[in-house]
Structure 1
Amino acid sequence: MTTSHTRRRKPAIHTGVPLSSTTPSGPGGPEFLEPTGGSPVGSSSRSGDNRKRLLVLGGVVGLVAVGGAAAWAITSFVGTGAQPAEALPAGTLAYASVDLDPSGSQKIEAIRTLRKFPAFKDKINLDTDDDLRERFFEEMTSSGECEGLDYAEDVEPWLGNRLAVAGVDTGAEQPSPVVVVQISDAGAAEDGFRAIEEACGNTDEPAGIAVEGDWAIVAETQEQADKVVELAGEGTLADDDDFTRWTGETGDAGILTMYASPEIGPELLSLLEDTGVSPFGGSELGGIDPETGEFEDVEPSASPSVPPEVQKSLEDFGGAAATLRFSDGSLELEFAADSGEQAEIFADVDSGGEIVGSLPEGTIAAIGFGVPDGWVDMMAEQMASSLGQTKDELYAEASAQTGLDLPDDLEALVGDGLAVSLGEGIDPDAVMNGGPAELPIAIKIDGDEAEVEAVLEKLRPQLGEEADLLETATGDDYVVLGPNADYREKVAQEDGLEGSEAYQQVVEGADGAAAVMFVDFDADDNWLARVAQDDAELADNLEPLSALGITGWYEDRVSHGFVRLTTD
């Protein structure tokens, strides 16, 4: 959880940068921060681009730190002390923060882990005593567009180690993108931002900059920067009930913290409705221009295709958060989100981990999940709504094509859940020459043997000579389906995966998990590196991987996810 710290607030200091004459607004829907600079949707003016670049450089590496964190942020580790959430208003719509120079021992552990990968040493080559701020300042200015800007003179004297990007409701037509940068010297920060502006920005339309206490707030206009300071004086994000609740749901603090407020749902719905573009079917995108390869512009639809259940989910969205961290030599990502009333159907689903854990020891990869009663109807209703059909019409079409009696046969076939597993002995050449029967893959179903077989009997005639792909084996309370007879029997008769060291290291709370994914990279003689052996460079970079686990569960209307990656 992000910890708030009570401290005496210092008066705001303004840089003397003139106010912009207008408040920018996108052509339709709210503005959302983007990894490359927080440009509002639809902006294309040269001055707008310059202002966005100034926002990036004003935060030195702020937006890159969030959007490009995979390349380097994992070399850091969260430290203690003040956090950017203290400089933002309660009710901030979206927030992502990163710490660039955490405590030494944890940073050393992280870099030692990353240096196991040859590509990291060859292309990034960070050492434990490197100043990440300087390294990425150099990357940001390597294009030569900021001639005369000097890190040691203009940036290092005031730049702190923590920063964030956020979307804040400042009363403008759309949410305002904001960068918050920790500073150590207010006067030097003022001079530094002016130097950045002169070297890189557009002095005709300067960004707004305000210094409040230990933080510099950079916004598109001075009015917006001042408003952020004013609103934060009335209550900070660090003390906001929604923020503390959701960041608390994601466990211990980490190198990267992300938060979405409950207000994001309605904002996203407004964006979909205003633009007429829907990812849920019935999209209003035009055709592709053969010359540019881009989608042609079309007029927004009067009634965008946002399914009613999606609309309700966005309207009722209660918030979400995620944390990325190192722990015991592993990289972890933990996230939590409001499930909404529609997800209550999953509240009692907890068999995903049980099914995966019942697989044989030595399983190299598996994914399993439990299903709730009525899951087929729920999915059919959503799909039918997207296609403009009724659920009964969808069932009738699918039944005619498959010969199944829906939804009953599909529910019987999946039972209470299933797991797909991949076993030892992968031989790509054998699979290529011998077909699917050479592949050690199987589906383990937590269902009734007679009911599963009755459904398969309907499907086998449709496969003709390939009907043997649907052969089964049975074990205690499970039915196993797979093309490889030996592996099928092994999955039916053997277990032990849940007791293996690799599984226990990466799968969190498997006993009550609704879904689990597991990969053991060390199994079967480092199978992944071995499969990639034709590409020596790729194989060398896969070699250090040990195991990966992804666990998902539901609790009190909250969807939880936990990802852990270990290395040798």
Structure 2
Amino acid sequence: MYCIHCGATNADTSKFCMQCGKPLLAPVTPPATPSFPRSLTPVAQAPQATPPRPAPRRRRWLPWAAGALALLLVLGIGTVALARTWLHLGTNDAAKLMPADSPMLLSISPNLLQVRQMQKLQAIVGAFGAAAQGTGALPSDLLEAQLDIDFEKDVVPWAGLEFAASVVNTGQQEPGLLVAAAVRNRSAAEKFMDKVRDQLEADGQTFAEETYRGVKVVFQEPGASGEGLAYAQFNGFLVVGSSLDALHRSVDAAQGQGPVLSKDAGYQKVMKQLRGNRTGYFYLDFVRLTEMTPQYEAEDQPLFNGVQGVGASLALETNGIRLDYTLVLDTKKLSPAQLAALQPLTSRNQAVAAVPDDVLFVASGYRLEGIFDQLAAFLSPDDTESFDQSIGELEEQLGINLENDLFNWADGEYALALIEDPAGLMGDQENPLGVAVLIEASDRRAAERGMNRIAVNLEAQGGERFMDETIAGFGFRTITDPYADITLGYGFVGDFVVIGSSRLALNELANASGSPLAKNATFREAIAPLPEKNSGYVYLDMAGLVDLFYRQMSDTDRRDFNRDVRPYVGTVRAVSMAAQSSGNKDDALRGSLFMLLDQDAFK
């Protein structure tokens, strides 16, 4: 029987693993080759002989060891937590160790439903790790190079099922930092920290010990650069603080001697908006963050004033990675106009049926005037005058009044799309892209009048005239710059006014109904995890865009790209995003971003 927790082989009649002691759920035949990446060698296997390590050289970077070690722990222990949870179930207990006034928390704590997906995604992590090998950029490389720490031997044996990092208010000018890693082997974790301490003391740092509320605390004695780090084990976690005060606050919260973040109303409100099926999450309290940073001029940021908290969660789907986000609003600090401008309206998403399926990028939305409303509603007093001036200049250049000649008919959907165009963006062949704009017209006659006014004004400015032209059976008005060989045009296709940066772009729009993006298999797969009721989509064909620019590269650039970039972007097929529409009384904004991955990454 094969233990899914540590990888050890047990007798078929065993109920518990002889190596790690965890229950054996069902008989499993071990694979011919264990599926663990090299960095995840099961702790039960016999250690391989390794050549003796050279004696560590005297390090001269240690005057700032406190901050460096805290950063290394964030990176190193975080990676360990991810690695160990590849085959385990995480918890969500770190928030019980953080003071309630902590303005920021990052937690990696996958739930049961995420475990299988994490197993499938080992190939991706393996590819990223292989690309970074030898660069010194991996957390394990940093631990080994700077602290003479062997990741596999010194960290993996004790690292548990959750990792978290939090900013904490210590009453000082600079905020503190707390890093907490769940511990499954207390003695191994203590041995690890003793090894770190011995190395730092060998380089001239001094440590002392104390007992605080019954907890043994080890702390770096203050030096010329100020307070040093402090660490302790309690409540099943190894907690490292950037200062002794920061660690004391964590002990207080854990023992009920002060308010704790997990019971804070603001924290709970944000977390309630996020999906429970997640690998980890991020929490930010804007109010407390501004209180900790008095230099921040909140009165000049109306939007930030109205945001009470921000949350984001990461989840692994069967075909990619989904990021959900939420903004919890303080409705008492926002005007009715601001609240109305923030609420996403529900789109019928007809614009994605009016663009061709080979677009490289598209961003669609509902109600064009809403963009201007959002800008105007959240401008600071100093920026309002310049914004009004910019609107006036735009109206003068177009020869129209936005309210009377555009917004009165452009009250439906709109979209901006990029397509491949060998002629280049505005004639620049080094950027082989074409631009297409679609605006749904609720009143065609009003739309014709508005577009004609713009055309007349452009003719007066440039000296060239718009010509009537038929493209793919649709009537367009086009204008050509004879010196730059650039053709612009507009016309009506279905219910949309379409504007293209070239004849190719106009032709693509005219023929879009035959092969629309809305029916594209990759697009449909990419938007499936997004909110069904939304205000529009953002979609990026990553594979197509990478292929386009790869074809423009020289042989040397291609070699560099294949070595340095493709390992990171090669598995990404598409990226999509949508904001969830909500009612006027809703005090939270939500949305999702999804990264569609190549199925080879799941094999």
Deviations 1:339-391 (A, max 9, x none): 55424324252338442344233333211222365653552465573447366
Which string of whole-angstrom CA distances, capped at 9 and with x for unpartnered residues, describes residues 75-121 of structure 1?
95883335422322344311012259997643331122456x6x764
**Cα deviation code 1:487-535 (max 9, x no counterpart):** 4254256333223221221124576322421123456995455455754
Equivalence for 1:138: 140
Q: Distance in 2 between matches of 1:157 and 1:525?
A: 41
Residue 546 and residue 533 in structure 1: after superposition, are their counterparts in 2 closer, same or farther (change >3 A)?
farther
Q: Structure 1 residues 100 and 321, CA, compared in 2 at 3 Å: closer, same or farther?
A: closer
Contact 2:84/2:156 (CA < 8 Å) preserved in 1?
no
Of 501, 511, 517, 2:521 maps to 501
- Count of residues in correspondence between the two structures: 470
| Preserved contact between residue 303 and residue 378 of structure 2 (Cα < 8 Å) | no
Match of 1:474 in 2: 492
Q: SS of 1:167's equivalent? A: strand
Does structure 2 retain, via aligned residues, the 8 Å contact 1:59–1:218?
no
Return 443-452 or 212-221, whichever deviates more: 443-452
Query: CA distance change for structure 1 residues 545 and 154 in 2, over 3 Å: closer, same or farther?
Result: closer
Question: 1:190: how far off?
Answer: 3.5
State the partner residue of 1:53.
68
Query: For residues 161-310 of structure 1, what are the structure 2 equivalents within 5 Å?
Result: 161-172=161-172, 175-200=175-200, 202-203=205-206, 204-205=221-222, 206-234=228-256, 236-264=260-288, 266-267=290-291, 270-273=294-297, 308=300, 310=301
Deviation at 1:208, TM superposition (A): 1.9
CA distance in 2, matches of 1:60, 1:382: 37
Q: Is the 8 A contact 1:237 1:243 kept in 2?
A: yes
Alignment partner for residue 513 of structure 1, among 531, 534, 537? 534
Structure 2: any 5+ residue segments left out of the alignment?
1-60, 207-220, 223-227, 467-478, 480-486, 599-603
Mapping of residues 97-112 of structure 1, within 5 Å: 97-98=107-108, 105-112=116-123
1:280 corresponds to: none
The correspondence for 2:351, drawn from 352, 355, 358, is 355
Alpha carbons of 1:163 and 1:498: their partners in 2 closer, same or farther (altered >3 Å)? Answer: same
Q: Deviations over 1:132-176 (max 9, x none)?
A: xxx955312343x425x5556654443324211101234555542
Aligned residue in 2 for 1:319: 309
Note the alpha carbon deviations across 1:47-102, whole angstroms, 9 max, x for none.
87321123234557247889xxxxx9899588333542232234431101225999
Deviation >6 Å, runs of 4+: 63-66, 72-75, 100-104, 428-431, 433-436
Alpha-carbon deviation of 1:214? Answer: 0.6
User: Shift in Å at residue 408 of structure 1?
Assistant: 4.4
Change (3 A) 1:178 1:491: same
Equivalent position SS for 1:323: strand
Q: Deviations over 1:445-488 (max 9, x none)?
A: 12342254144235422344496254212123210011333542
Amino acid at match of 1:488: L
**Which AA in structure 2 matches 1:365?**
F
| Residue 375 of structure 2 corresponds to residue 379 of structure 1 | yes
Residues 315 and 477 of structure 1: is their aligned pair in 2 closer, same or farther, counting only changes over 3 Å?
same
Q: What SS is found at the alignment partner of 1:360? A: coil
- Residue type matched to 1:565 in 2? M
Judged with a 3 Å threshold, the aligned counterparts in structure 2 of structure 1 residues 383 and 263 are, in CA distance, closer, same or farther, namely: closer
Partner deviation per Cα, 1:401-449 (whole Å, 9 max, x = no partner): 55443554563585444211234x543679868899x854311112342
1:370 aligns with 2:366: yes
Amino acid at match of 1:50: A
User: Which residue of 493, 498, 501 maps to 1:483?
Assistant: 501
In structure 1, the residue corresponding to 2:308 is in which secondary structure? coil
Measured in 2, the distance between the counterparts of 1:373 and 1:152 equals 57
Counterpart CA distance in 2 for 1:270 and 1:405 is 42
1:445 aligns with 2:445: no
Larger radius of gyration: 2
Q: Distance in 2 between matches of 1:390 and 1:138?
A: 51
Report the equivalent of 1:566. Answer: 596
> Which has the larger strand fraction?
2
Whether the 8 Å contact between 1:109 and 1:329 is mirrored in structure 2 is no
Instruction: Find the counterpart in structure 1 of residue 319 from structure 2.
Output: 329
Aligned partners of 2:344 and 2:580 also within 8 Å: no
When residues 101 and 559 of structure 1 are mapped into structure 2, their CA distance, relative to the original with a 3 A threshold, is: closer
Letter of the aligned partner of 1:221 in structure 2?
Answer: S
Amino acid across the alignment from 1:80: G
| 3-state DSSP of counterpart to 1:254 | coil
**Does the CA-based 8 Å contact 2:270-2:328 persist in structure 1?**
no
Residue of structure 2 in register with 1:427 after alignment: 422
Structure 2 residue aligned with 1:285: none
Which of 446, 457, 460 is the equivalent residue of 2:458?
A: 460
The worse-fitting range, judged by mean Cα deviation, of 46-55 and 212-221 is 46-55
Distance 1:443 1:189 in 2: 58
SS of match in other structure, 1:359 = coil
Structure 1 match to 2:216: none
- Where does residue 132 of structure 1 map in the other structure? none
What do the CA deviations read for 1:165-219 (whole angstroms, capped 9, x no partner)? 1012345555421111111233443443233133147324342223222112211
Equivalent-residue separation in structure 1 for 2:198 and 2:453 (angstroms)? 72
Partner amino acid, structure 2, of 1:453: M
Partner of 1:512, secondary structure, is coil
Q: Residue 124 of structure 1: CA displacement?
A: 4.4
Q: Where does residue 578 of structure 2 map in the other structure?
A: 551
> TM-score under structure 1 normalisation?
0.69
Q: 1:328 to 1:155 in 2, by over 3 A?
A: closer
Query: In structure 1, what is the Cα distance between the partners aligned to 2:156 and 2:380?
Result: 58
* Structure 2 counterpart of 1:84, one-letter code: A
Alpha carbons of structure 1 residues 520 and 435: separation in structure 2 relative to 1, 3 Å: closer
- Tell me, yes or no, if the aligned pair for 2:368 and 2:412 is still in contact at 8 Å: yes
Please say if 1:94 is aligned against 2:104: yes
Question: How far apart are the structure 2 equivalents of 1:470 and 1:386?
Answer: 37
Which region of structure 1 is more displaced relative to structure 2, 243-252 or 262-271? 262-271
